[in-house]
Amino acid sequence: MTGDQTVSRARSDPLESSDSVRSAKPLRDAQFARLEQPLDLERGGRIEEVTVAYETYGNLNEARDNAILICHAISGDSHVAKHNDRDDPGWWDIVVGPGKVIDTTRLFVICPNLLGGCRGTTGPGSNNPATGRPYGRDFPTITVGDMVTVQRQLLEQLGIPQLLAVVGGSLGGHQALVWAARYPEAVRGVIALATSPRLTTQAIAFDVVGRNAILRDPHFQGGQYYGKAQGPDVGLALARMIGHITYLSPEAMTEKFEADRLQPRDVAVEFEKQFSVGSYLGHQGAKFVERFDANSYLTLSIAMDLFDLGSNGRELAAAFARTRSRWLVLSFSSDWLFPPEQSRHIVNALLANSAPVSYCNVQSHCGHDAFLLPDELSSYGGMMRAFLDNLAATSRGAGSMEDGPHGTTSIFRQHRLDYDRIVELIPSGASVLDLGCGSGGLLARLMHRARSADGLVRGSSLAEATETGGRGRPPSDIGGQGCPPSVSRLVGVELDESNIFTCISRGLDVIHADLNKGLGAFATGEFEFVVLSQTLQTVQDVELVVMEMLRVGQKGIVSIPNFAYEPLRRMLYEHGRAPKSGGVLRYEWYNTPNARFFSIADFEDFCRQKNIIVHRRIALDTEAAVEISENPNLKADLAIFVLSLAKGLYEI
């Protein structure tokens, strides 16, 4: 959706939000399970009787290996999607259903209401068997880990030993992280959206204010307001108003309210309505009171605030040390409640464990709520669908050899001759990090070679071949599937969002990152080869990027265009025109992605100055598709270098 469309939609329905499809209507399709044993809680105490409300969609196949667990956020419930055309929409109806991102014609979806919730699962509003009245504030403190324990026991009752994937955003993402960390053998894939390893102090502060609004409401009555004429409706509404402020970005606020900021909507609430944003917040707060319990809000928000997988990289890496899942981590650029940096912390911890992970920071103006809204569905939903397709080994495009489109950091939009030679330079089974990987053409070739060498069927899912282990881990130890013995880690780094989508569609692991900010997520000597193909001329800090690639890689392979190519010299000297040629240097002066114009000789001088060892140089004329041995600085338009650092610069 374009920015203009977003503004138009916001102005036509200024009260629209991620809550618009939710209601207090009975859950007609909810099923209920009672845990067989009392639940001992992580922070002490016990819940003697636990009932879980859940809904299912689709059919569990005969192999029982197509199950998806969807974990909802703080205000969600089991009704993730409508069951038929007569049903009410669910809170993620845009994602779940027949033919949708999570396709219920192929997948079996389970969505349980959280422990501590108020839509059927045991929570503060449930009867305490010890007293015969609702728990209220006597409901014990629970954790995200307790929620996951309940979900695990539910799946055991349903006879599902392993999930194809666990999916969740926000608090649902917290649950997904715990699933992968605590039950690694039970989860083949994880999709974590707009989440974090712990809340920021700022996020906790908003929760504290919201809880105080509830606790100080004169109708709270110590939490035993059930059956009374009025409960803490004002406090709960205020808490939800605060929440909605954090769910929207400044850009979304401007789009929704700036044009008519002094023209509030006439909504039937008793809160201030002088400004347009005020009527919106009042409406959201009043609507929330109709369907949610204040004690559940207290219970679940405290569980969120207590959630903590680690405050630094070392602790977080230790939390994920046992993971065997494939991962897709998605953040949203304007989310200031769960900022993208927190998702990168998760990704870095997974990379430290050599876990197979893809990450994208989706460009969005919608803030934290972006994962619940349709605005960027084509992007985040497309990546989710592709990830699940590969995980389920049903993607027809996985492992495609087609080079596909390339972003602005690659000068190729045609057959990559340098890829042919680079593949020859990399031994089969070597671990490879491809910087500026574009649409994954090189990595797909390396994977195709490995699959072909091991006799895999052409066209099968690349997921079958990319189940790679962590450091020292056997290949079959990840994701519940084996892989060819010659396949090692193949990872891409890319900045362009559309290229990241293509890589994920191919079943490749790709990390959304800017090379100019370094490769701090990767350890020294972590990969046997780091490749920088036709990208160096576009980067801002050449020295940083080259030195970082040679730190992370035991060897580096760099392919560069040669701007001293003879036809370019003649064009500038004889005709006084900006040089271009028919091969890799075919761009016009006004649309070239190249920021630096250097020659083979210049790059060789750079290597000498920086004590970089050149193990091999291959010069090519890509127009004629031949290798050049004589006077390459004049006759070649492209060169490939195999490099390493002189001993002592970095210990590898």
Q: What average pLDDT is seen over the chain?
A: 88
Write the DSSP symbol of residue 113. P
Give the helix ranges, DSSP H, for 183-312.
201-215, 233-247, 250-257, 276-289, 294-306
Give the three-class secondary structure for 287: helix
User: pLDDT value at position 470?
Assistant: 37
CATH topology of domain 3-389: Rossmann fold (3.40.50)
Q: Where are the beta strands (DSSP E) in 369-508?
A: 432-435, 490-494
Convert the pLDDT of each residue in 66-92 to its tens digit: 999 999 999 999 999 999 999 999 999
Convert the pLDDT of each residue in 544-569 to its tens digit: 999 999 999 999 999 999 988 888 88
Convert the pLDDT of each residue in 248-297 to its tens digit: 999 999 999 988 888 877 888 889 888 999 999 999 999 999 999 999 99
Convert the pLDDT of each residue in 137-170 to its tens digit: 999 999 999 999 999 999 999 999 999 999 999 9
State how far the Cα of 304 lies from the Cα of 143, in Å rounded to an integer. 8
State how far the Cα of 387 lies from the Cα of 506, in Å rounded to an integer. 9
Point out which residues pair with 491 in neighbouring strands. 433, 509
Convert the pLDDT of each residue in 113-139 to its tens digit: 999 999 999 999 999 999 999 999 999
Write the DSSP symbol of residue 531. E
User: pLDDT value at position 111?
Assistant: 99
Q: What is the CATH number of domain 399-645?
A: 3.40.50.150
User: pLDDT value at position 341?
Assistant: 98
DSSP per position, 123-148:
-TTSBPTTTSSB-GGGSPP--HHHHH
Catalytic residues: 170, 335, 368
Give CA 205 to chain center in angstroms. Answer: 26
Residue 160, C-beta contacts closer than 8 angstroms, at least 6 positions apart: 60, 64, 67, 110
The Cβ-side half-sphere exposure at 453, using a 13 Å CA radius, reads: 15
Residue 600 has pLDDT above 70, yes or no: yes
Which secondary-structure segment (H or E) carries 168? strand 165-169
Counting Cβ atoms within 10 Å, is residue 391 exposed (0-12), middle (13-18) or buried (19+)?
buried
- 31-43 as b/e: b if 16+ CB within 10 A: bebebeeebebee
Give CA 278 to chain center in angstroms. Answer: 33
460: pLDDT confidence band, cut at 50, 70 and 90?
very low
pTM for the complete prediction?
0.90
Residue 212, C-beta contacts closer than 8 angstroms, at least 6 positions apart: none
Here the tokens at position 506 are 């191919």
Residue 471 has pLDDT above 70, yes or no: no
User: pLDDT value at position 269?
Assistant: 85
- The percent helix, strand, coil of the chain (3-state, each to 5) is 35, 15, 50
Convert the pLDDT of each residue in 211-245 to its tens digit: 999 999 999 999 999 999 999 999 999 999 999 99
Q: Taking the domains of the chain in order of start, what are their residue ranges?
A: 3-389, 399-645
User: pLDDT value at position 404?
Assistant: 44
- Of all residues in the chain, what percent carry a pLDDT higher than 90? 75
Map tokens 């406090």 to a residue: 235
- The length of the chain in residues reads 652
Convert the pLDDT of each residue in 383-396 to its tens digit: 999 999 999 985 33
Domain 3-389 and domain 399-645 have a common topology = yes
